[in-house]
Amino acid sequence: MSNESGSFKADKVSGIEGSIFATSALLEVVLQSNLRNVFKFPFYGLSFDDKIQKSDEWIDERLYTKVVEQILSYVMKNGAGYFKDVNIAMAAESDRLFDLSRNLTPNLQNLSDFELVQKYVEFMNIYNYSFGIGAVTFVYEGIMSERLTASISKRFDNPTEVIGSLISSPYKSFMMESEELLLKIKEEKEQGKKKALIEEYKEKFFYIRSNFSYSTILGDEEVGKLSEAVSAHKSQANARVEVSDTELLKEEKSIIAIFKETEVIRDKRKRANYIGNFTMFRFLEEACRRKGVDVLVGKRMFWNEFSDFVFDTENLSMRLKERTVASVVLDKGNAYYFDYNAIEPRQVLDASIEECSGTSACKGKVTAKANIILTTADFPKFKKGDILITEMTRPEFVPLMKEASAIITDEGGLTCHAAIVSRELNTPCIVGTKIATRIFKDGDMVEVDADGGIVKIVSRA
């Protein structure tokens, strides 16, 4: 909620590693989500710190809870067909973006300045529109996960296994497909076949080394390094519990039906996001090359300032050199872009807090040292057996996740990346704690009770 000084009070939910340029497009994604979906984002905000290439993500949790009530009321009356339709649409949109990016990006240097801007605008219209249809899951997943867990826990002694069995799926993510092809490359001894597999990988996964902060164009050497680093990602045996449909409440059935679609929606949305980031950075690099501007400065622009960057480079570049913090906000249907941090926490955390709770994604109990990982720059300090505590995991986190004794996240629900991978690895995991990265420090001895969804300090570092 805003006040006359132009600031907003909100609830911090997570964080994203990324540049202002790529991450600020999420504001338009949210607007497109509200245009395309029945269920709306009531508030959304991002505050950026360019020095560490990171942003904080903000919501109004009270309003999101009301939207969840609307969704459950709708699904209990009409079924989950709406989310199946979103699933189908997101899959088609992801494939459309793939074809568009693959054909567009190799030819950017041949375009005039005018054509470059027009192609950028055309692509961003499609990207934001496509990403938007699948963004709706962000509104409900965390809150519904807490609600389902609380409900199942009242009647079952093993709620984590029950829920895991109910929402399990044979669906294979694009990252799993990527790993399988990389393993083929790694294991192939005949050089001619190996080269053909590398070419196949570059064609199918040209976007794979992209996020909101950077993007790498894949060459043979890069694919070779990826294949050497990959290891078999075999699912561990998890206890499967047979639950009769008659044992479930109507609301529980509705949430489970939604989550079965949500897993696929999230994966196709993530693929679209990777492709979008890859393409945005190709446009940015081309514009910076032409205008003689350092990409690190160019990355400070908002996504919708691209035409100004190309046609009025000097004036915008002067502003960008001064822009080290920024924020974007959707409030009451209106979008705002600020050259300062306009978002403040509704409540300041008590420094004495030594415990937090969340949704158990994979059960287990572990006591080990905490390791707070906020960006990929933190990866080298992670040690095998540490408890991985982060805002959210992404595919590049998987090598750390394989070595972690437990996984804790601020954001997410039962179908988020951390939840799915933890169940595959059979690693204790609690998601959606909201505050874990802010109350624990590196080296703290931490007890994780993923059976009960509780994380607490044993001793401070």
**In this structure, are 191 and 66 located in the same domain?**
no
Strands 355-357, 359-362: pairing kind: unpaired
Residue 123, pLDDT above cutoff 50: yes
**Residues of the domain holding 198:** 174-229
pTM comes to 0.93
Residue 58, pLDDT above cutoff 80: yes
Residue 243, pLDDT above cutoff 90: no
Q: Of 345, 363, 389, which one is at a domain's C-terminal end?
A: 345
- The pLDDT, as a whole number, for residue 432 is 94
**In this structure, are 161 and 83 located in the same domain?**
yes
- The pLDDT, as a whole number, for residue 230 is 82
**In this structure, are 151 and 294 located in the same domain?**
yes
Query: What is the arithmetic mean of pLDDT over 69-86?
Result: 97
Q: If we measure between CA atoms, which residue out of 386, 367, 415, 215 comes closest to residue 299?
A: 215
Assess if residue 66 is contained within a domain.
yes
Contact 329, 336 (CB under 8 A): yes
Q: How many structural domains does the chain have?
A: 3
Report d(CA 25, CA 5) in Å as an integer: 25
Query: Beta-carbon neighbour count of residue 9 at 10 Å?
Result: 14
**In this structure, are 13 and 50 located in the same domain?**
yes
Residue 75, pLDDT above cutoff 70: yes
pLDDT tens figures, 374-423: 988 999 999 999 999 999 998 889 999 999 999 999 999 999 999 999 99
**In this structure, are 201 and 82 located in the same domain?**
no
- The pLDDT, as a whole number, for residue 52 is 92
Residue 19, pLDDT above cutoff 50: yes
Long-range contacts of 371-374 (CB under 8 A, 24+ apart): 371/442, 372/437, 372/440, 372/441, 372/442, 373/397, 373/400, 374/15, 374/17, 374/54, 374/437
Residue 210, pLDDT above cutoff 50: yes
Report d(CA 43, CA 30) in Å as an integer: 9
Residue with more model confidence, 448 or 234:
448
Kind plus residue range of the DSSP H or E element containing 114: helix 113-134
Query: Beta-carbon neighbour count of residue 129 at 10 Å?
Result: 18
* DSSP 8-state code for residue 312: S
